[in-house]
């Protein structure tokens, strides 16, 4: 996994271990306090609150009847004051203790985006404790130069497309809904408000990361929460660009409150299970209506269609979307490293059909952050290193 988030990762050498904490929590499905059953490392209050924030409330006073399925996984992220990501991976198990129904959560906190490693590791450990083998695994992962790095050649533009990778999951869910995919990409480029809904928690959270991954070489610079709990439904009405995820049961329970957000033309909802897109009456419903050049839209649709029959569909899917951002940004290569960004020169070097959208894009925070990183990089650095450096 490397698209769209690498400017918000800590450098690999700053991570002393593969993860910061591993702990097991329990909570009654019908309410009650969360308790720490066991911990591989010190667990402070904020790490417990991290899980409680991300885990949708179950059978609570708000009327939700959502329950995690055995083996259901969660992937989410939180940011520090410097906008660097801390990732949370969790796997859930339902237990029956006497008359109580309890959800047990095995959670792992890390600075590394090991989407293709940590969920599988947690599934293997979910029925085991103590976790002595984790020590050896942690040391091996921490020593690995490729942990959290792109697969293949270091300048490869492709994301990780392992079995559990976010981009692979997004491809599986929306690969046949090219109109919805291109709308999502364009909506994020124009900094809109997106709500993703899915029945399964693992599908929801992986696809949320897959969405922001489509932005490479940009990074999503705004509010990002792959899973909201019932206590945080009101966040959906925030006034800033956002990408939120919500399990379907919580959406159904809170539908009236959520649908009130369609009064905002910048708000859109995507059902990841069906590929359906919902926007306000009269709002733009396609990438073309949002201003993405028609030639790029047509080319991307052809490439996405071909990717479904490719021998490596995940890679072909990523390349199809990458071509959109690469074509839009191509003229910036003519501006010398170390200089200030020159909008007039950038537009003059762009195809005329691209200029209306590029004028709009150039006013966004994600564009300014990318341009500053790109132009501040030294001339000897590769493009991948420029993006990863986060400068």
| Domain architecture of the chain: domains with CATH | 6-143 (3.30.450.200)
Asked if residue 56 has pLDDT above 70, the reply is no
Work out the pLDDT band at 63, boundaries 50, 70, 90. very low
Looking at residue 135, what is its pLDDT? 54
Looking at residue 103, what is its pLDDT? 78
Q: Give tens-digit pLDDT for 223-237.
A: 998 988 887 899 999
Work out the pLDDT band at 95, boundaries 50, 70, 90. confident
Looking at residue 158, what is its pLDDT? 31
DSSP-derived 3-state class of residue 13? helix
Average pLDDT along the chain: 78
Exposed e or buried b per residue across 234-254, where buried means at least 16 C-beta atoms within 10 angstroms of its C-beta: eebeeeebbbbbbbbbbbebb
Best-predicted range by mean pLDDT among 49-58, 174-183, 350-359?
Answer: 350-359
Distance CA 54, CA 79 (A): 14
Asked if residue 348 has pLDDT above 80, the reply is yes
Asked if residue 390 has pLDDT above 50, the reply is no
- Beta-strand ranges (E) seen in 111-192 are none
**Token pair 């030639």: residue:** 295
> Which range, of 171-185, 262-276, 305-319, 365-379, averages the lowest pLDDT?
305-319
Q: Which residue has the higher pLDDT, 253 or 316?
A: 253
Average pLDDT over residues 152-157: 31
Nearest alpha-carbon partner for 100 in 28, 31, 37: 28
Tokens (6 digits) for 278: 């919902």
Nearest alpha-carbon partner for 58 in 22, 107, 104, 10: 104
* Omega cis (within 30) before 217: yes
Q: Which residue has the higher pLDDT, 42 or 353?
A: 353
Distance CA 228, CA 372 (A): 32
**Token pair 């959406």: residue:** 251
Looking at residue 62, what is its pLDDT? 43
Q: How are the residues of the chain apportioned to helix, strand and coil, as percentages rounded to the nearest 5? A: 40, 15, 40
Distance CA 331, CA 301 (A): 23
Q: 278: Cβ–Cβ under 8 A, 6 or more apart, which residues? A: 262, 268, 269, 270, 271
Q: Which residue has the higher pLDDT, 274 or 2?
A: 274
Nearest alpha-carbon partner for 151 in 369, 318, 381, 304: 318
Ramachandran assignment for 175, one of left (phi > 0), alpha (psi -120 to 50 degrees), beta (any other)? alpha
Distance CA 98, CA 279 (A): 47
Looking at residue 4, what is its pLDDT? 47
Looking at residue 317, what is its pLDDT? 84
Q: What percent of the chain has pLDDT over 70?
A: 71
Is 45 exposed, middle or buried (CB count within 10 Å of its CB: 0-12, 13-18, 19+)? exposed
The answer to whether 216 and 322 have CB atoms below 8 angstroms apart is yes
DSSP-derived 3-state class of residue 286? coil
Ramachandran assignment for 377, one of left (phi > 0), alpha (psi -120 to 50 degrees), beta (any other)? beta
Asked if residue 287 has pLDDT above 90, the reply is yes
Work out the pLDDT band at 30, boundaries 50, 70, 90. low
């Amino acid at each position: 996994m490397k698209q769209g988030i690498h400017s918000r990762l800590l450098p690999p050498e700053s991570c002393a271990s593969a993860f910061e904490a591993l702990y097991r929590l329990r909570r009654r499905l019908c309410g009650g306090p969360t308790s720490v059953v066991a911990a591989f490392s010190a667990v402070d209050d904020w790490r417990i609150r991290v899980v409680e924030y991300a885990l949708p409330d179950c059978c609570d006073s708000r009327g939700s009847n959502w329950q995690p399925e055995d083996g259901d996984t969660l992937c989410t992220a939180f940011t520090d004051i410097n906008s660097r990501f801390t990732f949370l991976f969790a796997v859930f198990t339902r237990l029956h203790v006497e008359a109580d129904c309890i959800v047990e959560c095995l959670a792992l906190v890390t600075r590394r985006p090991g989407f293709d490693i940590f969920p599988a590791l947690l599934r293997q450990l979910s029925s085991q404790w103590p976790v002595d083998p984790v020590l050896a695994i942690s040391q091996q992962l921490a020593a690995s130069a490729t942990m959290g790095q792109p697969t293949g050649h270091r300048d490869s533009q492709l994301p990780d497309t392992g079995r559990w990778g976010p981009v692979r999951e997004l491809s599986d869910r929306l690969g046949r809904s090219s109109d919805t995919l291109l709308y999502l990409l364009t909506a994020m480029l124009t900094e809109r408000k997106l709500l993703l809904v899915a029945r399964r928690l693992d599908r929801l959270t992986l696809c949320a990361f897959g969405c922001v991954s489509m932005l490479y070489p940009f990074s999503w610079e705004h509010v990002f929460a792959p899973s909201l709990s019932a206590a945080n439904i009101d966040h959906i009405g925030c006034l800033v660009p956002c990408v939120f995820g919500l399990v379907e049961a919580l959406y159904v329970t809170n539908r009236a409150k959520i649908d009130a957000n369609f009064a905002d033309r910048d708000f859109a909802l995507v059902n990841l299970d069906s590929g359906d897109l919902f926007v306000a009456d009269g709002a733009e419903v396609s990438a073309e209506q949002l201003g993405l050049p028609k030639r790029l839209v047509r080319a991307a649709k052809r490439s996405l269609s071909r990717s479904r029959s490719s021998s490596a569909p995940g890679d072909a899917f990523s390349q199809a979307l990458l071509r959109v951002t690469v074509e839009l940004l191509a003229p910036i290569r003519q501006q010398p490293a170390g200089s200030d960004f020159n909008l007039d020169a950038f537009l003059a070097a762009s195809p005329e059909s691209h200029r209306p959208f590029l004028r709009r894009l150039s006013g966004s925070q994600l564009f300014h952050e990318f341009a500053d990183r790109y132009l501040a990089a030294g001339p000897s650095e590769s493009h991948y290193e420029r993006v990863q450096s986060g400068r």
